[in-house]
């Protein structure tokens, strides 16, 4: 290093003058390369941090991609509901002003918007997805949208086009529509202008040119609706003024009757209440359903008692997971004690037997329990042979909670043994001998000396087993029947069978919240710092 403070004070100066002169020549300390020492140190620390970050970057990216992103996507799906607004934009906008508390169906403006939206939805094949989504909330919506979609293109709305073209042939030319709606007429005809833009976008998606296509019936329907619902076209265009005057005498088309002919369910006011209720892009309906509630126009209400299943499943999942964890503790503790106190050669042999289930397929182990526990299975046959059970009164040990508890205890037992063994193997045997030499009985020495030191292993194994048990679904699905399944089985059903991913995401979010709350409670009561793996 170079020190600019080095030097000798000029002769004849007092000590104070020498210090001031020395300070006047003092500058920042420099490194060997001439840069300020402080800057050089900061740069070296920054390089060390970047190297450390580069080492953990692959793991960090892996966690983000496989853990954080899926959880974030699950949280988003549990409240996401944009399909109604995206598929029926005009209907959602006009339906927002409809009074759902009344007994009257929506007015002509809603039926017109619904007709236009359904045409585009059918062409894009989006109406079936919308029906599937709304069918979760009101049974029959899926078939209603499919039936209506097959009839929309056959409605009698072509009479509007015939009457406009008869009034002025230029109405049949797309060039005249483009010229009209690119000018001030777009403000006077809002529904027609928006529909024209959607028509252009649709043709662009299909690779067609809008000016080469015939004017569709729904555009004439939108134009008729605007002209007969107070469109101010005076001074905008003589052709529009003439069309407005003539439209009052046109033969109208009752769209509500057309839709009723397509499917009579569209005359059910509950259908329109459901559409209005689930038109927002964010909904609490999934979470309401996951706690046996339902979203209604009047707020969240409890479902009928015979439809409340998720509360039962959550309680059953927590209860059985705790029972399985307790069973694993009772069975694993003596095994772990033996492994930690036997000679190394014998302990290694027994450890192979503990690890042996990991080398066998989960489905094979579960299926084996199904064979053993069934009424004509091995266990019942042995009990009958011993005379403990009558042949006509064989025990029912499968397709219930007992079967799930037995099978899952066997599957998860190694996850309890290993943490216990790793902690017990670090407890010196001399502690027990010392306690006995001081007069303690075998039980007192175990309970007052040995057991407290093994508690961290019990805590680690309990957390591991409980979290694994609460999310299991393969084993309960095979051996649980109707009374031994978990909430995870219902989540799997909604993901793979009913395709109600929003409800599955809501159930998964609640399950995640329950686990986090229990983890927090465990930390407060026992303390995570007391959990050790050896």
- Rounded to whole angstroms, how far apart are CA atoms 125 and 130? 10
Sign of the four-CA dihedral 191, 158, 217, 173:
negative
- Return left, alpha or beta for 34; rule: phi > 0 is left, psi -120 to 50 is alpha, else beta: left
DSSP three-state, residue 80: strand
* Measured CA distances, 295 to 189, 255, 270, 276 (Å): 36, 29, 13, 12
- Rounded to whole angstroms, how far apart are CA atoms 148 and 159? 20
**CB count in 10 Å sphere of residue 452:** 10
- pLDDT confidence of residue 307: 85
- pLDDT confidence of residue 10: 52
Mean pLDDT by 10 residues, the chain (534 residues): 46 58 58 72 85 86 86 89 94 90 87 95 94 92 94 91 91 90 85 94 90 91 91 79 89 92 91 92 92 87 88 94 95 93 88 87 89 89 89 88 93 93 89 88 90 89 91 90 90 90 92 89 73 56
pTM: 0.80
Q: Provide the 8-state DSSP code for 477.
A: H
- pLDDT confidence of residue 195: 94
Strand-pair partners of 299: 296
Annotate 81-91 with b (16+ C-beta within 10 A) or e (fewer): bebbeebbbbb
Show contacts of 363-371: CB within 8 Å, 24+ apart.
363/474, 363/478, 365/407, 365/410, 365/411, 366/407, 366/411, 366/474, 366/475, 366/478, 366/479, 367/478, 369/398, 369/403, 369/406, 369/407, 369/410, 369/479, 370/398, 370/403, 370/407, 370/478, 370/479
- pLDDT confidence of residue 6: 44
DSSP three-state, residue 2: strand
Report all structural domains of the chain as residue ranges with CATH numbers, in order of start: 89-302 (no CATH), 310-530 (1.10.3720.10)
With 0-12 / 13-18 / 19 or more C-beta atoms within 10 angstroms meaning exposed / middle / buried, residue 460 is: buried
Q: Provide the 8-state DSSP code for 101.
A: T
Phi and psi (nearest 5°) for 30?
-110, 150
Whose CA is closest to 478, among 371, 375, 335? Answer: 371
Show contacts of 181-189: CB within 8 Å, 24+ apart.
183/236, 184/236, 185/233, 185/236, 185/237, 185/240, 188/226, 188/231, 188/232, 188/233, 188/236, 188/240, 189/222, 189/223, 189/226, 189/227, 189/231, 189/233, 189/240
- pLDDT confidence of residue 99: 86
| DSSP one-letter string for 265-323 | GGG-HHHHHHHHHT-SSB-SHHHHHHTTEEEETTEEEEPPGGG--HHHHHHHHHHHHHH
- pLDDT confidence of residue 25: 52
Whose CA is closest to 491, among 10, 33, 133, 74? Answer: 74
């Amino acid at each position: 290093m170079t020190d600019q403070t080095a030097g000798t004070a000029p002769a004849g100066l007092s000590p104070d003058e020498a210090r001031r002169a020395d300070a006047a020549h003092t500058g920042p300390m420099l490194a060997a390369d001439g840069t300020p020492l402080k800057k050089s140190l900061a740069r070296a620390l920054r390089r060390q941090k970047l190297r450390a970050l580069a080492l953990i970057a692959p793991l960090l990216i892996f966690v983000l991609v496989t853990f954080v992103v899926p959880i974030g996507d699950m949280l988003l799906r549990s409240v996401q509901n944009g399909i109604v607004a995206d598929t029926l934009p005009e209907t959602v906008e006009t339906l927002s002003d409809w009074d759902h508390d009344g007994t009257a169906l929506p007015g002509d403006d809603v039926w017109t918007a619904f007709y236009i939206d359904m045409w585009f939805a059918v062409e894009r094949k989006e109406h079936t997805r919308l029906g599937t989504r709304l069918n979760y909330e009101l049974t029959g919506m899926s078939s209603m949208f499919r039936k209506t979609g097959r009839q929309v293109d056959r409605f009698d709305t072509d009479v509007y086009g015939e009457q406009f073209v008869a009034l002025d042939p230029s109405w049949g030319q797309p060039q005249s529509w483009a010229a009209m709606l690119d000018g001030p007429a777009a403000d006077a005809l809002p529904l027609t202008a928006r529909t024209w833009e959607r028509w252009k976008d649709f043709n662009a998606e299909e690779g067609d040119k809008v000016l080469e296509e015939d004017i569709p019936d729904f555009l004439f329907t939108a134009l008729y609706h605007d002209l007969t619902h107070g469109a101010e076209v005076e001074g905008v265009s003589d052709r529009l003024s003439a069309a407005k005057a003539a439209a009052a005498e046109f033969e109208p088309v009752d769209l509500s009757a057309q839709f009723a002919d397509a499917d009579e369910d569209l005359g059910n006011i509950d259908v329109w209440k459901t559409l209005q209720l689930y038109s927002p892009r964010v909904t609490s309906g999934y979470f309401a359903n996951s706690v046996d509630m339902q979203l209604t126009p009047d707020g969240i209400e409890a479902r009928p008692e015979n439809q409340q299943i998720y509360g039962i499943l959550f309680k059953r999942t927590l209860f059985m997971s705790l029972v399985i964890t307790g069973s694993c503790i009772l069975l694993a503790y003596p095994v772990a004690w033996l492994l930690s106190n036997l000679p190394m050669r014998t302990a290694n042999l027994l450890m192979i037997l503990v690890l042996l289930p990991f080398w066998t397929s989960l489905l094979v182990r579960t299926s084996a329990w199904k064979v053993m526990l069934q009424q004509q299975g091995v266990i019942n046959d042995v009990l009958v042979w011993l005379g403990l059970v009558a042949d006509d009164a064989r025990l029912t040990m499968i397709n219930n909670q007992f079967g799930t508890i037995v099978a899952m205890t066997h599957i998860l037992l190694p996850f309890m043994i290993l943490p216990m063994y790793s902690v017990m193997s670090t407890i010196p045997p001399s502690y027990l001998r010392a306690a006995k030499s001081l007069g303690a009985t075998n039980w007192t020495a175990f309970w007052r000396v040995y057991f407290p030191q093994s508690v961290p292993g019990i805590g680690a194994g309990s957390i591991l087993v409980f979290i694994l048990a609460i999310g299991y679904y393969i084993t309960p699905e095979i051996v649980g029947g109707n009374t031994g399944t978990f909430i995870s089985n219902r989540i799997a059903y909604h993901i793979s069978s009913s395709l109600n991913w929003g409800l599955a995401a809501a159930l998964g979010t609640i399950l995640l919240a329950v686990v986090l709350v229990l983890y927090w409670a465990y930390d407060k009561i026992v303390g995570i710092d007391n959990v050790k793996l050896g």
